Each structure stands twice: as C-alpha cells, then as structure tokens.
Amino acid sequence: MFSTSGSYSVVARSMLNGALLALRELAEAECGVALEPIVVNPSGDLARYRTLSLELLGDGIRHVVGCYTSSSRKEVIPCFEKFDSLLWYPSHYEGFESSDNVIYTGAAPNQHVLPLVDYLASRVGRRAFCVGSNYIWAWENNRIFREALAVRGGTVVAERYLPVGETEFDQVIGAIIDQRPDFVFNNLIGTSAYAFFRAFRTACRARGIDQVTDIPVASCTLSEPELAEIGPDAIDGHLTSSVYFSSLDSPANAAFIEAYARAFPNGPISSADAEASYIAVKLLAAALEQAGTEDSRAVRAAVANQRLAAPQGEVRIDPQTYHAWLTPRIARSARNGQFEVLLEARSPVGPDPYLVQSSPRFAVAMRGPALKVVRS
Amino acid sequence: MTFRLLQNFKGGRAIIVAKCSTREVALETTLSKLGVSSEYPDIVGGRVQIDVARLQVERDILFIDGDLESAVVIEVDPASRLPPVPVIGLVGVEAPSRLKALVNLGATSFLRKPVHGGAVYTSLFMGINQFLLRSEMYRRLHDLEERRRGRRALVRAIICLMKSGLDEDAAYSWLRRESMRARQNLEFYCEEFLSGRAKSPDDFHRTNGVELQGGNKRAM
C-alpha cells in the first residue's frame, strides 16, 4: 500500500519497487512460501489509506507492507488492530510508538536524528533553523532534535511548518537568510522539500552566499530519487542521516543495486525506504515460512530475532519493540546524484523508539540568552 | 521552583495492585518497553501488602485495580489530597463509586481494562506529570498560604515603624530592603523584627558603615 501518486510519490514508487524486487527474488529462489502481491495506491489521501486498509483486511489479507508518512500509519493502525493483522511499516519515523500490530523495518529516532545532532553540533555549528511539513513527523522529529541540540549547548533560532505539498518558500527563506543559522534542519517531505532545496540555493546564490558551506541543509529524509527530483542546480552538498545509501560499498549492496536497476530501468532509483521495503518483504517471507501459517500472532512471534543479510548490512528484529537493528550513517549529496558516506556506525544499533536509553529524564527547555538587550 | 515535564520513565517501578489471575500482559509488556519494571504485591485477606513508607516518589508508580474492594489503604495527604507516589487507576466496572474510590486514592490518570498497549504511554505520561504538577501547585499554594498568614506581621511592623516617625511608604521600603539584605522573605523578617530578633532602624543607623570624608569608599 504505497501512494504511487501524490506529493511524495517518488519515494513511494521506490518503496513499491523495493517490495516487488524482494517478491521477485523470493519467487525465483522458490522459498517455502508463495506470496501474491496486491498493490493499492491511496494517492497520499489519509481517508483512502483507511478505506483501502479496511477493504484489504476485510478480504482476508493479514499482512500489508506499506505507508510512508506517519500520519498515514497512525490512520490505519486501528484497522490492523481491529482485524489483528500486521502492518509492515518500511520507513524511518519519529518513534514513540510500538503497536503490537506493526513491524517497523525503518529507522527509529535514535538511529537517524540523534546521530545527526551529534554530527551537526560537533562539526557544523549549534544554531539551527528548522523547517518541516505540518504534520506529526516534523513536529516530533523537530522536538527530539531541539531537545538533543539543547543538551549539546545548541539552540533552534526558529521553527517553520508548511502544509504538505506547499511549494512557496520566499518568506521562510527570507527568515533563514536574516537569521543566518549555522545550518537548516529540514523535515519537509516530497515536492515541498524539492522546491525548498531549489529555491534556497537560488536565493543564497542571488545574495552571494555559498549555501553548501555557509548554511548547509541537513535532513533525515532526503534520498537518492529525491536528489534527481531536486535537479542539477541544487543537488549537491546536502547532509542526510540514514541507515542506507545506494553508494554503500559492499557485495550485498552491489547485488541489490544491480538487481533493482535491472528490474526497474525507468526508476525511480533505489532509496533507504526502498531498501526498508525490500527488508520488510524478506522478513515477512522468512517469518511466514517459520510460522507455517499466516496468523499474525504466530508470524509476529516468528519474526522476532530474524536476521537478514540486507544491502545495508545485517538487520534483525528486536523482540521487545518489533523495530529493527540498523546501521546509522551520515552522508553528503554529490553532483552525481549519489551520497558520499562521511560517517557510519561500526555495527548495527538497537532500536530505541521511546528514547529510553538516549534522552534525559526531564524534558529539556531551550535556554534563552542570559542577557537580553532590548532597544526601546 | 518550576514544574519540569517528565518524559523518560527509565528505571521506574510499577507496583500493580491487581489479582495475579487477571495479569494485564499488555500493561507489563508496554511498561517494559518504556524502561519500567513491574511488580505484583501480594493481596492477603483482601489487603495489598505494600510498605507505603518505603515507596520512592522518584521511582514508583502505583497501578490500582478499581475493581478490588478496599484492597489499598494509603495515606493521602489531607491538605494536598496527594498520595505518596503517582497513582494510575485501572478501570473495569465504570461505576461512579469505583471511580470515586480511585480519585480518593489520588489517581491522576486511568487505563481501561483490558489494557490496550497503545494507551499505556499516554496514561503513564499524564499520570506522572499530573502528579508532579499538582505537587508543585500544592507547594506554591502552601507557600502563598504561609505568606498570607505573615501579612499580619507585616502590617504590625509597618505600624510599629510609623510610630517611630517613618511614613507608611518609607516603613514598607525599609522592611523590604532589610528583609532582602537578611535574605529572608518579607513576612518572616517582619516576625523576626517584631520579636526583637531583627535590628530596628535605630540599630541600622548605629551599625551602618562610617562615611569617610574626602574619600570614595565606605568603611565596612
């Protein structure tokens, strides 16, 4: 269930491709289970997500791989709980959720935003300007970012939220250039993000600002097919925190990239969310085979501790949270439309969706200046 | 002191007062994801065996099944109506008398039985933070009550100083300045002043530094 049309369709189409590639490989390998995909497209419409989920589950389907936005996932979870079925959610998200009816194969916040805060605070600067699409992903990811940055002595100079699909950024960009933060933390998604990257680069260039050096943009969402959408004028120099980049140098990833390109020559090219969808289908098949039934509780029990040699490295499911152990990485986009990996964890990192291990006990309030001068 | 929002419950201990035969598995499982351990104290003769004096406000949370008849007897502060640690009510029979019993135990949040995992974080978050907020509000209320009681001493101290020739504003300013100098709140300082433990304006003039002539510094 992927929105292959609508404002974030580029990523969703790469996710569908990732899932279909896994199904194709499973069929070719003649694994112990035969999976027949039914593909539906909610077109980014929240009400459609719910209607389609109820239709699929009402027809007896017990396992759905899908959703990209957190708002869509939260919209359909009650349906999966009602039918006691499993949603295999293959995207990074903001955490603070652990439904018994969801298997999370994308990154939790301790695997994307916290490593990014560490990188930015130690190597880029401590004054951030946050922009995001106006829904739970940006609100919560910015909150986690703000609190983590405050602990490291940094500040968020402003936060701006715009509707999903908004492409008019003159006012926000004017505010960013006025504030001159050390970097922009971007939680815009889909067409909004592509428009922002283009307009911000153009505005900086017009004012003689070297955007990549002076005000870099950092994200937890930006992926390879989206770099292509941004276009050549503003494609390079963007920082991204993710658990997968298609430039990873490993035999497993080389095989994945080659198979993906052969299967989908018309794109969109692979992405972290495509890999997470690929992983979700592979784990689903392994769990179905082990369980010997499609019953959701049996499959859920069987997926715990499943290990997979994924394109990003070893992935396994944590039996307590049903989130995945993944390998965090920080990369910078290059003119060739790929990411150059700057840093990576030595081994897979356990999921901490509630940030139990990695956040302070009490909420951190951003400190104001010790002395404020007011002109009267 | 200002209220601080608790958002990471790691290291917490949930004491679940419910019959072991009706263990709330979803509650325990979700609490464990949140870094909170669970314990079921024994219920003997209809009474739960908890040493209330050993409960730790920084660590413990009581989950009390409202369907147990008078199983828990805990000391609720009569003034603040707060229990010693946060209490979250487990609601089965949704009857006013049972809800009232949980409110009387100081419950600041509720969970319907059977517990749904997706509701636990919200309930824990609300229960603990409402408890902390109410505790902080009670502390402030208590402080304001103390100060209100002390206003009588302030009025008497002002009248006392006015008898020695100061006008009302000057008397108040003098008391306020001296209370700040003594690092005491105004009302407490006035009580000290009236009982003769604090210095009078005359003392102040006598003990104050000597102005050096022709210099810029005051001798201490």
DSSP string, A21-80: HHHHHHHHTT-SS---------TT-HHHHHHHHHHHHHTT--EEE---SHHHHHHHHHHH
Name the phi and psi angles at A224, rounded to 5. -60, -50
Annotate B92-120 with b (16+ C-beta within 10 A) or e (fewer): eeeeeebbebbbebbbbbbbebebbbbeb
Among the partner residues A98, A355, A362, nearest to B4 by beta-carbon distance: A362
Q: A26: buried, middle or exposed (CB in 10 Å: 19+, 13-18, 0-12)?
A: buried
Contact flag B4-A321 (C-beta cutoff 8 Å)? no
- Which residues on chain A are in Cβ contact (under 8 Å) with B5? 362-363
Chain-chain contact of B35 with A354 (C-beta, under 8 angstroms)? yes
Cα–Cα distance measured from residue A73 to residue A2, given in angstroms and rounded to the nearest whole number: 11
The chain A residue lying nearest B132, using CA atoms, is A362
CA distances from B139 to A324, B62, B185 (A): 44, 22, 16
Rounded (5°) CA angle A99-A101-A104: 70
Closest approach of B8 to chain A, Cα-based (Å): 5
> How do the pLDDT tens digits run along chain B, 220 residues long?
567 899 999 999 999 999 877 778 899 999 999 999 999 998 888 788 888 889 999 999 999 999 987 777 777 888 888 999 999 999 999 999 999 999 999 999 999 999 999 999 999 999 999 999 999 999 999 999 988 999 999 999 999 999 989 999 999 999 999 999 999 999 999 999 999 876 666 655 544 433 444 444 433 3
Q: Do B35 and A359 touch (CB under 8 A)?
A: no
How many alpha carbons lie under 13 Å from residue A323 in its C-beta half-sphere? 28
pLDDT at B201: 64
Q: Which residues of B171-207 are buried (b: 16+ CB within 10 A; e: fewer)?
A: bbebbeebbeeeebebbbbbbbbeeeebbebeeeeee
Instruction: Report the Cα–Cα distance between both ends of chain B, in Å, rounded.
Output: 35
Residues in chain A within 8 Å Cβ distance of B34: 354, 356
Beta strands B43-44; B47-48: pairing state: antiparallel
Chain B hits for A321, Cβ within 8 Å: 33
Here the ipTM equals 0.81
- Chain B residue with minimal CA distance to A320? B33
Q: Which residues are registered as beta bridge partners of A131? A: A160, A186
The predicted-structure confidence for B175-206, as pLDDT tens digits, reads as follows 999 999 999 999 999 999 999 876 666 655 54
Whether residue B164 contacts residue B175, with contact meaning beta carbons closer than 8 Å, is answered with no
CA of A362: which chain B residue's CA is closest? B6
Which of A77, A87, A97, A98 is the best mutation test for B, with the most CBs of B within 10 A?
A: A98
The distance of A359 to chain B (nearest Cα, Å) reads 7
Between positions 92 and 151 of B, the ones with CB within 8 A of A are 117-118, 121
Confidence (pLDDT) at B217: 40
User: Which residues of chain B make contact with A360, given a CB cutoff of 8 A?
Assistant: 8
For residue A357, is it left (φ>0), alpha (ψ between -120 and 50) or beta? alpha
CA distances A233 to B94, B119, B176, B181, Å, are: 63, 47, 67, 66
Residue A82, number of CB atoms within 10 A of its CB: 13
Question: Which tens digit of pLDDT belongs to each residue from B36-52?
Answer: 999 999 888 878 888 88
A chain contacts of residue B30, beta-carbon cutoff 8 Å: 98
Main-chain phi, psi angles of A2, to 5 degrees = -130, 140
Q: What residues of chain A score a pLDDT lower than 50?
A: 369, 376
CA atoms within 13 A on the CB side of A228: 11
**For residues A52 and A333, what is the distance between their CA atoms, to the nearest angstrom?**
36
The pLDDT value recorded for residue B53 is 86
Kindly state the tokens that stand for B91. Answer: 């609601």
d(CA A9, CA A2): 8
Helix (H) or strand (E) holding A205: helix A190-206
